[in-house]
Structure 1
Amino acid sequence: MTPHVTAATVKAADRAHVFHSWSAQALIDPLAVAGAEGSYFWDYDGNRFLDFASQLVNTNIGHQHPKVVEAVREQAARLCTLAPGFAVDVRSEAARLIAERTPGDLDKIFFTNGGAEAVENAVRMARLHTGRQKVLSAYRSYHGATAAAINLTGDPRRWPSDTASAGVVHFWGPYLYRSAFHASTEAEECERALAHLADTIAFEGPQSVAAIVLETVPGTAGIMTPPDGYLAGVRELCDRHGIVFVLDEVMAGFGRTGRWFASEHWDVTPDLICFAKGVTSGYVPLGGVAISAAIAETFATRPYPGGLTYSGHPLACATAVATINAMEEEGVVEHAARLGEDVLGPGLRALAERHPSVGEVRGLGAFWALELVRDKGTREPLVPYNAAGADNAPMAEFTAACKASGLWPFVNMNRTHVVPPCNIGETEAKEGLALLDEALTVADRHTASG
């Protein structure tokens, strides 16, 4: 007989046995979640939260979508698992559906279990294809927590695991609000960021650089949409020097920006695309690399030295097929684009007008960030970079205010990200903006005018 489940029993078992990521184990108190549906989840006491984080920006079609849940059930009843060396109908179909949506000739799909493994394998492919070792990536980036991926990462999560010997060189990407190039316009920022990257390549030795890895739209680092012309400029630099161009679309892909892949906004085709998260809406873990014809040809008669036991797992692939089909049938990608243009963008800009703590609003589709500041004139962040403890108190208070009102936010450093499910209803989105409006009054108290 199953014992009665309560928040207390769930939390006790969690405390006894679960080791949580990115956490000091004794200092955390995870919420015990009883269930979820659509854009909401709730605890055992009946408190309901509007999921403005899409968990980790991956439940792109919300929680418990019936078509996807049923597809997982059907696949489990038919064929739960099979090794990656076999041809499986659902694996082939998932690959076909993904390849149909990638730009250019990225028609081969290597499946992984998640985004970090996708980045790991993309880097391996680039190094083997070029015979070079160095890889360039941007500061203010996140590419995963495995060995190569964490070294590519440009935020403080890299520091404890940085070996300083993984062949990675970091550079500054465009970010006009806090420009590293003293730019005053998007055009200046683009031009100077590209010049900086060109100089970095030159001084590192173009003949030694295998790949440039970029998040198409950086996610956790702040949703800094690149200026027009930047990605095209990076593509040109890669072509000039025989460098593989890798776009990390793990967070930005599968509808998040109002396109299947964010690169479509700038009509740029990379050599490799890394994906995960939204491809299954997070229901079953799946990631992968979409591969260009030229790189695929490298391994036509030469074995690719990489693989995973669960590559293209049938349950995960069935989830991807159902997720992509549901998104297509229900117009989720188009809905996300309209949501950004008509609801989230205007609504967030209105909040910026009302609140002295909102320094900048950035984003597109269902992918937005508010940069919170102490002073709009000086742009001093509401909390210092990588703040902890008492230094982070203003953001901690803001986060607590959101949760107390029934809004679950995605917060990183001095930013709150607005990243609800891509199919959230207009009414729910406006509800979330109203709750955010209320919580920002707490952040306002810590501003120069507060």
Structure 2
Amino acid sequence: MIEDKCLTQDLKKELKEKVESRNYKEALKYSKKMLEYIEKDDLTHEEAEWLGRDTVSNFRDYVNPGFVEYRKCVTEGGQFAAVEWKDSGLNTFKDASGKEYIDCLGGFGIFNVGHSNPKVKKAVKDQLKRQALHTQDLLDPLRGVLAKLLSDITPGKLQYSFIGNSGTEAVEAGLKLAKIYGQEKGKFTIIAAVGGFHGKSMGSLSATAKDIFRKPFMPLVSGYRHVPYGDADCLYKTVKSCEMVGEGVAAVILEPIQGEGGIIMPPAGYFKRVREICDEFGALLIADEVQTGMGRTGKMFCMEHYGVEPDIMCLAKALGGGIMPIGAVIAKKEIFSKFFPNPFIHTTTFGGNPLSCAAAIATINVLLEEKLPERAAEIGDYFLKNLKKVCYKYDNLVEEVRGIGLMLGIEFYSNEIGYEVSKELFAGGILVAGTLINAKTIRIEPPLTIEKGQCDTVVEVLDKALAEVSSKFK
């Protein structure tokens, strides 16, 4: 506590005014009201209306007013918003007013095993009865179990894992592994792809390609280069040039399919050639499977489609089963061993906590037991075929429909068209969204548990939405 004699009169006055301005009584009343709302399954019409107004006000005044302008769920004038309230099935959710939506956004790819999957939820509840967080000093068993499972299900010789809280953290850990592994050989350059998205912390943002995310924070971390995605010749020339000028390449980081880039598929044979280039020059291959992993593309991991083994793989999003946040980076022993001498060289307080690990263990169990990757391949083929059938009737709007498994995208001729179609779908009870790098493309990433009948409903609503938008863009 600061002794009174150390304070000037002005500082005493400022502190007194700050304390007096705090409204603990109002905070206590407000928090109590919200805890009562949280306890409810359903809200009355009046409660839902109040919550909508309150949410808009809170975002405008305390979160970020930009979200009020951006969200298609906010009414014109920004007075009211559809407020997400509860899950209503594996593939659906309801807003506070009780309107149900088919989720074709999937939380940007987190709900692979569905909303509130009962097995994942039970695992978290069971763990919560026993212990929520660990003390940090003793060995925690679930982290070890999850690391072993990841070694069991990932391709090739990937073995050791660092467990964090998000995809960005997984990428940061992967980049640090590549740096520490390459430094003895004088390799420190990281090559990423144009259109790629790897996160927004300073290291991961340096690999991310979108200028509007990068420019405000420049200069970023040094030693990063970007090459066109899918152009193996350009990658080869860049790696070779770096080596020739003494800027050896530690790693090439790529998404197996560019998610935020607009569901961009690589050309045939691309990743096999990337692997050859990395091997020729002694660079590591980092596969960012944060969005493509955990069964999304019809294989447990997208790199399996290409028959290529990465040296480092980054995972997150669906790993937590749509219940808990968790991320992981897994690497070959020879690479991860650089962390062995000092296990505290890269750590996290909350990463690998028992609740998140319980969720991830249950998620892996569900994916394997219910064969959800195989299901994603089957339902994805059906869905893609029907999406194409409808979309190509509107060739004045739609440029291309593409994807694999249940990672699908519809690219329009302009951002405006994509946004209008998204709004029409939302009004029809279907949630989709654009991608952060390529706003012309809306992603279709439902839970892998989506039923064929629900796919049919999405296609029907899309047909009506495209007809409505088509009349505006003649």
Between 127-136 and 85-94, the greater mean CA deviation after superposition: 85-94
Give the one of 194, 203, 212 matched to 1:148.
203
CA contact (8 A) 1:246 1:270 kept: yes
Q: Which runs of 5+ in 2 are unaligned?
A: 1-31, 38-42, 75-80
Partner of 1:420: 446
Aligned residue for 1:212, secondary structure, equals strand
CA contact (8 A) 1:150 1:161 kept: no
Displacement of 1:17 after TM fit? Answer: 4.5
Partner of 1:211: 251
Distance in 2, matches of 1:113 and 1:289, equals 11
Displacement of 1:329 after TM fit? Answer: 1.5
TM-score with structure 1 setting the length: 0.86
CA contact (8 A) 1:84 1:312 kept: no
Q: Specify whether residues 23 and 366 from structure 1 end up closer, same or farther in structure 2 by C-alpha distance, changes over 3 A only.
A: farther
Distance in 2, matches of 1:64 and 1:422, equals 13
Partner of 1:410: 433
Q: Could you give the per-residue CA deviations for residues 127-173 of structure 1, whole angstroms, max 9, x where no partner exists?
A: 11000322111111111111111121112333323424432111101
Distance in 2, matches of 1:13 and 1:159, equals 34
Partner of 1:194: 232
Alignment of 1:24-423 (within 5 A): 24-25=66-67, 27-28=69-70, 29=74, 31-36=82-87, 37-131=89-183, 132-155=187-210, 156-174=212-230, 193-205=231-243, 207-303=247-343, 305-341=345-381, 343-356=382-395, 357-373=397-413, 382-383=414-415, 392=416, 394-412=417-435, 413-423=439-449
Larger Rg: 2
Aligned residue for 2:392, secondary structure, equals helix
Displacement of 1:280 after TM fit? Answer: 1.4
Displacement of 1:366 after TM fit? Answer: 0.5
Aligned residue for 2:108, secondary structure, equals helix
Distance in 2, matches of 1:300 and 1:229, equals 35
Q: Which runs of 5+ in 1 are unaligned?
A: 175-192, 374-381, 384-391
Aligned residue for 2:450, secondary structure, equals coil
Q: Could you give the per-residue CA deviations for residues 40-90 of structure 1, whole angstroms, max 9, x where no partner exists?
A: 111122211110100222111111111111111100001211145532222
Aligned residue for 1:24, secondary structure, equals helix
Between 400-409 and 303-312, the greater mean CA deviation after superposition: 303-312
Displacement of 1:124 after TM fit? Answer: 0.7
Q: Specify whether residues 166 and 17 from structure 1 end up closer, same or farther in structure 2 by C-alpha distance, changes over 3 A only.
A: farther
Displacement of 1:303 after TM fit? Answer: 4.7
TM-score with structure 2 setting the length: 0.82
Q: Specify whether residues 163 and 72 from structure 1 end up closer, same or farther in structure 2 by C-alpha distance, changes over 3 A only.
A: same
Q: Could you give the per-residue CA deviations for residues 94-113 of structure 1, whole angstroms, max 9, x where no partner exists?
A: 11222111111101111010
Displacement of 1:21 after TM fit? Answer: 8.0
CA contact (8 A) 2:157 2:332 kept: yes
CA contact (8 A) 1:34 1:43 kept: yes
Displacement of 1:437 after TM fit? Answer: 2.0
Alignment root-mean-square deviation, CA: 2.1
Displacement of 1:200 after TM fit? Answer: 1.4
Q: Specify whether residues 70 and 363 from structure 1 end up closer, same or farther in structure 2 by C-alpha distance, changes over 3 A only.
A: same
Aligned residue for 2:181, secondary structure, equals helix
The number of equivalent residue pairs is 412
Distance in 1, matches of 2:269 and 2:63, equals 37
Q: Specify whether residues 411 and 283 from structure 1 end up closer, same or farther in structure 2 by C-alpha distance, changes over 3 A only.
A: same
CA contact (8 A) 1:151 1:163 kept: no
Displacement of 1:22 after TM fit? Answer: 8.3
Q: Specify whether residues 105 and 78 from structure 1 end up closer, same or farther in structure 2 by C-alpha distance, changes over 3 A only.
A: same
Q: Percent identity?
A: 28
Q: Could you give the per-residue CA deviations for residues 261-297 of structure 1, whole angstroms, max 9, x where no partner exists?
A: 1000011111100000011123110001011121023
Give structure 1 regions of 4+ aligned residues with deviation exceeding 6 angstroms. 19-23
Displacement of 1:429 after TM fit? Answer: 1.4
Q: Which amino acid aligns with 2:386?
A: G
Q: Specify whether residues 336 and 124 from structure 1 end up closer, same or farther in structure 2 by C-alpha distance, changes over 3 A only.
A: same
Distance in 2, matches of 1:295 and 1:10, equals 50
